[in-house]
Amino acid sequence: MACSAKLEPAGVNADCFTPEFKRLKGRKPSPNFDSVIDLHCATDTAILNQHFQESTVHLLNKTDLNDISICGLKQVKDWRVFEFPKFPGFFVILNPFIDGYQRYWVSRCLRDFPLDKSNVTNMTGQSDLDQHDVWQRYLEKNTFEKGDPLKRLRWTTLGYHYDWNLKEYSEKNKAEFPTDVHLLSQYLSKALGFGDYCAEAAIVNFYHLDSTLAGHTDHSEKDFRAPLFSISFGQTAIFLLGGQTKSIEPLALYLRSGDICVMSGPSRLAFHAIPRILQPWSAEEAQKLKDAFDYKRRPSTVSPEQLCRMQAVSSSTETRENDSTSLHKSVVEETNYQIEKTLECLDFTPFDLTFQHQESI
Cβ contacts of 71-75, under 8 Å, gap ≥ 24? 71/101, 71/104, 71/105, 71/180, 71/183, 71/184, 71/187, 71/308, 71/311, 72/97, 72/98, 72/100, 72/101, 72/102, 72/104, 72/105, 72/311, 72/324, 72/328, 73/97, 73/98, 73/101, 73/187, 74/98
* Residue 244: how many other CB atoms lie within 10 Å: 16
- E strand or H helix at 275, and its extent? strand 272-277
132 assigned binding-site residue: no
CB contact at 8 A, 99 and 287: yes
Tell whether residue 116 is among the known ligand binding residues: no
Where do the DSSP E strands lie in 8-145? 53-55, 80-83, 90-94, 120-121
Rounded CA-CA distance 223/360 in Å is 4
Long-range Cβ contact pairs of 114-119 (< 8 A, separation 24 or more): 114/153, 114/156, 116/175, 118/175, 118/176, 119/156, 119/157, 119/158, 119/161, 119/175
Q: What angle do CA 83, 87, 89 make, to 5 degrees?
A: 65
Identity of the residue numbered 337: Y
99 contact partners, CB below 8 Å, separation of at least 6? 287, 288, 290, 292
Cis peptide before 19 (omega within 30 of 0): no
The answer, yes or no, to whether the previous bond of 85 is cis (omega within 30 of 0) is: no
Point out the annotated binding site. 216, 218, 272
Point out the annotated binding site for Fe cation. 216, 218, 272
